[in-house]
Amino acid sequence: APADGLGGLPVGVFSSDKVDVDGFPVDGNEASNWPYDWTVEIEHFAGRTWSIGFSAAFTSYEDQDDPELLTNLNTYSGFFRVVIPSNTAVRPYLRAGMGGVQVEFETATARVDADYSFSFQAGGGLLWLPARWLGLNAQALYYNGSTEDAYIAENNTIVGFDVQYWAFAGGVSLFFP
C-alpha cells in the first residue's frame, strides 16, 4: 500500500533540553514551513480489520536562520493498523508503530548523518475503498524520535534535540488477493 505524503509540521522547533541564557532552545531550530514529506509502505491484512506493515518515511526541514541548512529525517518502522468496520466504503482506522530514525544535516557542500535512534508513531486516518482492489487514504501521524543523544561521527558531536513532528499524508493503496 504505497502512499505519497503531503507535508509535515515540527512540534515547536523540535525539542531540546539545552537553552541559552534567555531560555530559548539552542538546538532544533527548524522552520514550521510545511515541508514535503513522502512515505512508502507495504502491509499485509492478516484479518478483515487489522494489518501489519513496514513504512519508510522521509522529511526535510529548513533551518529558521539558515535556509541553506536542511535537517533530513529518515524513519524506518513496523506498524500495526486496526480498521474500524463501517457500513460504508469509508472506514476510519487507528495505527501505531515503532522503529528507527536517523537525523541528517545537509548543506550545499556537506552532509553528516547521526546514528539511528528509537522512534515511534501513532495516529489515524480514513480509508476509502471505491473498488475491491483500490483504496484511497488520508492520515495524520505523530512521530517522536529519541535523537537528542544520537552520535554524529563525522564531527564528533551529538544531535542535541529530539524530533517530534506531525506528518499528514494522502495516498493510493492497491490490494492483491
In tens, the pLDDT along 49-95 reads: 999 999 999 988 887 777 788 889 999 999 999 999 998 989 999 99
So what's the pLDDT on residue 19? 53
pLDDT at 25 over 60: no
Specify the long-range contacts of residues 124-129, CB closer than 8 Å, at least 24 apart: 124/92, 124/93, 124/94, 124/95, 125/92, 125/93, 125/95, 126/90, 126/91, 126/92, 126/93, 127/83, 127/90, 127/91, 127/92, 127/93, 127/173, 128/89, 128/90, 128/91, 129/89, 129/90, 129/91
pLDDT average, residue stretch 11-32? 54
So what's the pLDDT on residue 79? 96
Rounded mean pLDDT of the chain?
Answer: 83
Are 129 and 122 within 8 A, CB to CB? no
Predicted confidence (pLDDT) per residue in 116-128, tens digit = 999 999 999 999 9
So what's the pLDDT on residue 174? 82
Q: Say how far apart CA 99 and CA 79 lie, in whole Å.
A: 9
pLDDT at 45 over 60: yes
